[in-house]
Amino acid sequence: MPLKSPEEYVESIKREVNLYMFGEKISEFWKHPNFKIIEPSMNTVSKIYELAQMDEYKHLMTATSHLTGETINRFTLIHQSVEDLINKVKMQRLVGQQTACCFQRCVGFDTANALWSVTWEMDRKYGTNYHKRFKNYWIEVQRGDLMVAGSMTDTKGDRGRRPNNQTDPDQYLHIVDEDDNGIIVRGAKIHQTGFLNSHRAIIMPTLRLRPGEEEYAVSFGVNTNEKGITMIYGRQSCDTRKMEEGKLDIGNYKYGGQEIFVIFDDVFVPHDQIFMKGEIDFSGELVNRFAGFHRQSYGGCKVGVGDVLIGAASLLSQYQGVDGASHIRDKIVEMIHLNETLFCCGIACSAQGFQREAGNYEMDMLLANICKQNVTRFPYEIGRLAEDVAGGIICTMPSQADFDSEEIGPLLKKYLTTCDGVSVKSRYKLLRFIENLSMGVASLSYKTESLHGAGSPQAQRIMISRQGNLEEKINLVKKILDIK
């Protein structure tokens, strides 16, 4: 059965890479002191592998491959039914609940499902063999239970110029050479979630391309430690707290996310790993379908993290003796209402899914964009309400070193005491946890990623405008009022 254990995953990802962190080159990152910053993100991915081994979660975490008939991790599944689409969102909520952060495996998952139908349609139109290549590539992923990153966002240079009009053509990843064996690409991809923790990556264009921009219409698979790939680890708020003694000031000290700046410096890609090469008319479809799948994902993952934040705020209200106050109860109810509304959108766009001619199932594009548009707003309000319940102390607390100090520690414990029977340390943990989710490292994956991940708010509004079918709505009025 092609399911890795958490331990097997950790060992499999220990490979030499060209990584830079805080200005220092690191090849064996798992041996470096800065691994304390990286380790929580690896723990998060490991949790996915762990949950897939647990009987109570196998119905969500695993599925049967339509390619091999084998049991696989659901994060490598090509959706074969509406039920698969719904279970995807439920799985993502579960993993969010278990980790309270971005778990990094969704982007590659959504990329694969978008590529499945797009490669099939390119082959039908042009007689290419992209679909067969991708199918063989993805069977390897399923059988190896590999983590695959999805890489879309280019650096973009001057946003007022098209890719082929940039002063520096490398601002968008593109093909710079080709021979009988494959292509050579150059450029960069940014905001690369979990790239260091992934075995492979699939690269996509970042926008709909036009005639004259064929060199930028490229999609391919690549090993994340391929020659010519350089990674720079993304800096996050409060990240160096993980280097300090003790864990209390970290907040979520077990789990975390990871973002990488990835540079492709003349990277060779063999033909059998190329899934698009110059087909500009399909570049926009790949971008749109990936975005749809990924916007669906946010109706699960951010909801799971929201569940944990709501739980933290509710427990803290008990610890601080205000859980009986009507305005506190009302704030908790509002947090639940907003969070479940996001989940409703994720389930709705899945339940309204349909089958593509390629055989795979796709969510409802309009509802997926509605889902993500709400995600750009509601987590900010949920976070604000959590901060309101917690009080200003979440951003004024002394450090753990002071808390543990023989001289000042007893006084801090005295004045941080609230209700009888409530551990001061437990309250401290909760306050730091809420700080972490609303202002610290985890806020990247909960708030900022909610805003910009899978496209910033305007991207969804454009798609809502295209998918909203205004003409049909106008005709409804005309019919009722007998307007011809």
Name the active-site residue from 119, 213, 301, 362: 301
345 classed as catalytic: no
For residue 298, indicate whether it is catalytic. Answer: yes
Q: Is-contact 149 200, C-beta < 8 A?
A: yes
What is the secondary structure of 113-176 as a DSSP string? HHHHHHHHHHHHHH---HHHHHHHHHHHHHHHT--EEEE-----SSTTS-GGG-SSGGGS-EEE
121, 279, 435, 449: which is the annotated catalytic residue? Answer: 449
- Is 238 assigned a catalytic role? no
Q: Is 193 a catalytic residue?
A: yes
Q: Directed axis angle between helix 280-319 and helix 424-438, to 10°? A: 160
Tokens found for residue 441: 């490292």
The side-by-side arrangement of strands in the sheet containing 274-277 is 148-151, 200-203, 218-223, 274-277
Catalytic, 381? Answer no
Q: Annotated catalytic residue: which of 44, 76, 111, 193?
A: 193
Which one from 130, 216, 233, 298 is the annotated catalytic residue? Answer: 298
Cα–Cα distances (Å) from 55 to 43, 45, 51, 77, in that order, read 20, 19, 8, 19
CA distances from 15 to 42, 172, 269, 306, 452 (A): 14, 28, 20, 34, 31
Q: Find out whether 399 and 431 touch, Cβ atoms under 8 Å.
A: no
Residue 106 catalytic? yes
Instruction: Evaluate whether 457 touches 465 at the Cβ level (below 8 Å).
Output: no
Exactly one of 101, 102, 349, 371 is catalytic; name it: 102
The residue type at 105: R
Q: Is 449 a residue of the active site? A: yes
Annotated active-site residue in 213, 215, 259, 279:
259
Catalytic positions = 102, 106, 193, 259, 294, 298, 301, 449
